A and B are shown apart, each in its own frame.
Chain A
Amino acid sequence: MNAATLFGICGAALAGLGLFGLITNSEPLRKILAFNLLGTGTFLIFGVVARRGAAAGLGGDPVPQALVITGIVVAFSATAMAVVLLLRLFEESGKATLDPNEADGASTAEDDS
């Protein structure tokens, strides 16, 4: 098993772990963390695809590498937005959970001003 395949398996396992964390962790901050795990796992798999495409004197296929760079920036943007939303939610409501126990919006009389 060469290095690329090893990292590929690692990426697959990370993606599974991250997905599990995203689905089962009930705290939003942990969900965001798990989403990042899932993201890095996905990118690692892409990197393995790039490594396997090494040709023309390059160490890897540059197209997936560039796509991963784009993906990392996008994932960071997503994390930032989620974190700020969570912090604002905590400031407004004193709680940092997404409990679905109360029917959202139905408990308070919402007006449209």
Chain B
Amino acid sequence: MSMANAFDVALVALLLAIAVWVVVARAAFSAIVVFIAYGLLVAIAWVRLFAVDVALTEAAIGSGLTGMLLLGAAARLRGTTASGRCGLTLRIVAAMFCAMISLGLGAVILTPPDVVVTLAPAAMANLPPSGLGNPVAGVLFVYRAFDTLLEKVVLLLALLGVWSLTPDRLWGGVPGPQVDAGPDGMLAFLAQLLPPLGIVVAVYMTWTGADHPGGAFQGGTVLAAMWIVVIIAGLQNAPSIDQRLVRFLVVVGPAIFLGIGLAGFALADGFLSYPAGYAKPLIIVVEVALTLSIGVTLGLVALGTPQRMRRQ
């Protein structure tokens, strides 16, 4: 027990130290590099909180993809003059305000209610009819499937928002950097070695998500990461944004999800409910389609706006 506590205390201390550094560091680049480490430490904290699905998602999306995005931005913005710090009065007022909020939150944490109201028993009790073994998957795809569907639409909107910032002359072009990495370089080697492994991991994570930690989001993110590695190494060109196939892949996940949800009107209790006995196969179909869509969408979001037109 004391060993575990020492580890947790060390983890928390490190997290707070990094957070302070991220806020006060002068150079954005160092703050972001440290932030990536922070993300991985937060993922470990999630494991300590017995939420492995969340740990996987945080490591993949919260630390990995976010860090990549921010690092790329810092690299392109390097050298811009750092604007002046804001006035002392604002900083003092903000510090007091934030301290108040932190103290309020801390007080709430330190005074939990006597009777903890939890939905874990209800979630577990209703799981067997759906055939799933992972209660988090149950929440995501059975009880609160509507949230998941809307969230897919949010992701699509983010992609559209990113694309909407394309200069008009580059519409229909190819996103991502133009890379001249040599075919014998380290990057090319990595891009040949990693993707097969990554794809196997992604498929496994999606497949096993029905019964164990994992699922469409985690698997899809790994797929996206492998795709990005291949593109950055120059082994493959990014697709242009007006290609039908690309648009179709982005949409196929939410479309199948919506379609199965609509079928619930006729075949089951209503929108987003599954016919008895068919829940697990249908959910797996949805998860596979979503993995594909999430992989393509996240990859395209990470690649950014088109930078050049496709070579005819």
Contact = CB atoms under 8 A, between A and B. Distances in A.
Contact of A33 (B31, B94, B302): B31
Chain A contact patch, size range: 35 or more
Contacts of B161: 81, 84
Contacts of B69: 79-80, 83
Interface in B27-42: 28, 31-32, 35, 38-39, 42
A47 to B, nearest CB: 5
A87 B123 contact: no
B197 interface: no
Interface residues of B, number: 92
Contacts of B38: 37, 40
B266 interface: no
Given A13-B16, A24-B94, A47 B151 contact: no
B201 interface: no
Chain A binding site: helix, strand, loop or mixed by DSSP?
A: helix
B105 A15 contact: yes
Contacts of B105: 11-12, 15-16, 45
A62 to B, nearest CB: 4
Contacts of B90: 23-24
A54 B50 contact: yes
A32 B54 contact: no
Interface string A11-29: 1111111111101111101
A21 B58 CA distance: 21
6 contacts: A36-B66, A52-B112, A56-B123, A74-B154, A77-B155, A78-B158
Given A12-B102, A61-B123, 5 more contacts: A16-B101, A33-B28, A33-B32, A63-B123, A76-B62
Interface of A: 3-21, 23-27, 29-30, 32-34, 36-37, 40, 43-45, 47-48, 50-63, 65-70, 72-81, 83-88, 90, 95-97, 99
